[in-house]
Structure 1
Amino acid sequence: MWPWDHLAIGYLVVSLWRRGRSRRPPGEAEAIAAVVGSQLPDLIDKPLGWRTSLLPSGHSLAHSLTVAAPTAVVVYLLARRYGRADVGAAFSLAYLVHLPADVVYPMVLGDPPNLAFLFWPFVDIPPSQTDAFAGRVLELVVQFLAFLRTPQGLTFLLVELSLLGVALLLWRRDGWPGVASVVRAVDPRSV
């Protein structure tokens, strides 16, 4: 699944959870936690599995339930201890929703669901090539663009754009949480 898909799904889940819990949108810190949580598995596994031999695959350590579940619990408990339980919950929800999204994504592309990575290291997973990180990314982009030229790909693109559009509209309705923090981080004089 592409990073923007994980981001959209992670934000949708966090925003709907936040609204269901307190009838208010996510705040700045919750939105940023959702961004980090939604991307963390790929930020760990892709470089270490595609560029080095430290991990067998781009879906292994941080995508495994043996790491993801305890990580989500520890982050939530630490955040709660410091009075930021909602931030910990936002991170944990976005992180955990990343995993089923990666299970379902191959099915959208016409392949069987991929479940093995959820149980790594107890289940062997096919190793990734580690000689060319950029080459692997380019290969995925080329495959994806070829897929988009098929009738199935066009349907996928419509669903994809709908998902991204709904997430963007909800983020706008929520008041663009997270943007002000990023702007302050990039340009402290903008405060």
Structure 2
Amino acid sequence: MWPIGHASVAYLLYALSTRSRFDGPPGHGATVAVGFASQVPDLIDKPLAWYLGVLPGGRTLAHSLFVLVPLSLVVYEFARQRNVEEYGVAFAVGTLSHTLLDAFPILWNTETPWEALFWPLLSPGGVSGEGAPTILGLFRDSLGQPYFLSEFCFLALALYVWRADGYPGLGPVIGRLSPA
């Protein structure tokens, strides 16, 4: 899944979570946290695998539930101690939704690598030794795939919900840009 898909689904899940728990939209800081966290697995794994060659694939360390669950608990506890526990919840939703979305295509394509969820206990499946692909190559390979096209539907829905929620995460930015 591409960054827009991960961010869109993470926001939708987090917005659903805040509506069910607080009967309100996400806050500004937590929205930024969920958006950032939705990219964390790729921000860690891709450079370490593709450019530094430290990991066996671009979906290993930071895509593993053995890493993400404890990391999410540590971030939650850190945030809780600072009275911003919602940031910890947002982080967990962002990172965990990312790795689960990457494995989701197993439902219709049995050759989709899902083993990364349990790395290093299991090998990373079809992602080993993949090298550094080009953005254009990845984009070309994605065109026409229903999963790739669904990301634009998730993006449209997330933008709709984000607008209805009052653009959380953007408010402080707009406030700084507005003339006094």
Does TM, normalized by the shorter one, top 0.5? yes
Aligned-partner SS, 1:56: coil
Distance of aligned partners of 1:40 and 1:181 in 2 relative to their CA distance in 1, 3 Å threshold: farther
* Structure 2: tracts of 5 or more residues without a match: none
Q: How many residues align?
A: 178
Sequence identity (%): 36
Tell me which amino acid in the other structure corresponds to 1:60: T
Q: TM-score, normalised to structure 1's length?
A: 0.83
Cα deviations by residue, 1:22-53 (Å, 9 ceiling, x for unpaired): 11100110100101111100111111111111
Native 8 Å contact 1:76 1:85 kept in 2: yes
Q: Is the 8 A contact 1:183 1:190 kept in 2?
A: no
Residue equivalent to 1:47? 47
Partner of residue 65, structure 2? 65
Please show how residues 47-126 of structure 1 align to structure 2 within 5 Å. Answer: 47-105=47-105, 107=107, 110=109, 112-125=111-124, 126=127
Pair 1:95–1:32, CA change in 2 (3 A) = same
One of 143, 149, 173 as aligned partner of 2:164: 173
Decide whether aligned partners of structure 1 residues 162 and 189 sit closer, same or farther in structure 2, where only a CA change above 3 A counts.
closer
Pairwise CA RMSD: 2.2
TM-score, normalised via structure 2 length: 0.88
Distance 2:25 2:41 in 1: 25
Q: How does 1:1-40 map to 2 (within 5 A)?
A: 1-40=1-40
Question: Is this contact kept in 1: 2:40–2:62, CA < 8 A?
Answer: yes
Q: 5+ unaligned residues in a row in structure 1: which ranges?
A: none
CA 188–162 in structure 1, closer or farther in 2 if over 3 Å, else same:
closer
Of 134, 137, 143 in structure 2, the residue corresponding to residue 136 of structure 1 is 134
